[in-house]
Amino acid sequence: MRYFARRIGFFLATLWAAVTLNFVIPRLQPGDPAEVMVRKLAGKDAQLDPAAVRAMRAMLGAPDGNLFQQYVDYLKALSHGKFGISYTYFPYPVTEVIGKALPWTLVLVGVTQVLAFVIGVTLGAYAAWRRNTRFDSLVTLGSTFVGTLPGFWIALLLLFAFGYTLGWFPTSGGYEDSMPGWNLGFVGDAALHSLLPAASLLVTAPIGWILGMRNTMVMNLGEDYIRLARAKGLPDRVVALRYAARNALLPSVTGFAIALGGVLGGSILVETIFDYPGMGRLMGEAVSNRDFPLLQALLLFIIVGVLVANLVADLLYGVLDPRARKAGQ
């Protein structure tokens, strides 16, 4: 019980620190969002009117007062689930903007993360079982090489080859002519638009799971319980799946839970390259436009998602492995 209480205490302390940093970091960014919007409306070479800047700041609901008062107001707004008005998508609230982008990221990045995990642990386990063979060398060396390739370069290459040159897939957006809704036309259109971004993520996403699963399983194959299982005359398939792979999978499951928590952040580069309407593109727009309310809400979503996933992973680890509870006391 002490193990679980400590993990929950660490979670609450980390959450408070994350919320505070989420308030401070956007305000360290130079520039005034109100001035940026007035300059966009008036033109880059036009002289800024202080009255117009003040009016824009009031219209955006920009925080005023000293930093401590802003922090108190920020905490009060969070307690009521209010994140303010988005500067980029004025006059829409931040919650509405995020609500429209979140499903796209959950489908794209969530599905690719699950597929990457399944593919990665399967290839890694089989490569470990067949270690020092041609298949093992191909998987490990190939994964190491592909892991050195930049993700944005892979996305641009796929976009050029299959989008512009061959014209097999759409080059941007989440859908085209169909009306959004739960109908076959829209679902098929959205799936077609997501294939290239998903392929860009799946090229490199399984690599960490492959190498991690292989290395962990190779270590487990040298343990005494594996020798005992073989001495009992158990089939190789049983030894590989029920003994070696099952124990090697535990760290990967923990990492998978944390990776799912990071899904809320989307993939900024891939979503920006394909103009995909997800959380990653939203994050890029918020940074470039100094949209403090939207940026704070996005960062908070990502941080809370990772922290909750980390907490769930710690609690599950304590349930699945009694040694973790003993070590944490």
Q: 259-280 burial string, b = 16+ CB within 10 Å, else e?
A: bbbbbbbbbbbbbbbbebbbbb
| pLDDT more than 70, % of the chain | 76
Residue 46, C-beta contacts closer than 8 angstroms, at least 6 positions apart: 39
Contact 206, 198 (CB under 8 A): no
If one counts every other C-beta atom within 10 angstroms of the C-beta of residue 75, the result is 13
100-327 is classed CATH 2.60.40.10? no
Q: Is the pLDDT of residue 2 over 80?
A: no
**Token couple for 166:** 């061959």
DSSP strands (E only) in 194-289 = none
Contact 116, 122 (CB under 8 A): no
pLDDT in tens, 244-281: 777 777 777 777 776 776 666 657 778 888 888 888 88
Let me know the angle formed at the C-alpha of 298 by 29 and 153, rounded to the nearest 5 degrees: 85
> Length of the chain in residues, anyone?
329
Provide the residue type at 206 as one letter: P
pLDDT in tens, 287-303: 777 777 788 788 888 88
Q: Give SS3 for 85.
A: strand
**Token couple for 181:** 């809704």
DSSP collapsed to 3 states, 165-218: HCCCCCCCCCCCCCCCCCCHHHHHHHHHHHHHHHHHHHHHCHHHHHHHHHHHHH
pLDDT at 1: 65
- The full set of domain ranges for the chain reads 33-82, 100-327
> C-alpha distances in angstroms, 107 versus 65, 138, 307?
41, 31, 21
Let me know the angle formed at the C-alpha of 322 by 316 and 328, rounded to the nearest 5 degrees: 85
Contact 260, 110 (CB under 8 A): yes
> Is 162 or 263 the better-scoring residue by pLDDT?
162
> C-alpha distances in angstroms, 244 versus 100, 132, 274?
43, 17, 41
Q: Is the pLDDT of residue 62 over 70?
A: no
pLDDT in tens, 186-240: 777 778 888 888 888 888 888 888 888 888 877 777 777 777 777 777 777 777 7
Has this prediction a pTM greater than 0.75?
Answer: no
> Is 138 or 11 the better-scoring residue by pLDDT?
138
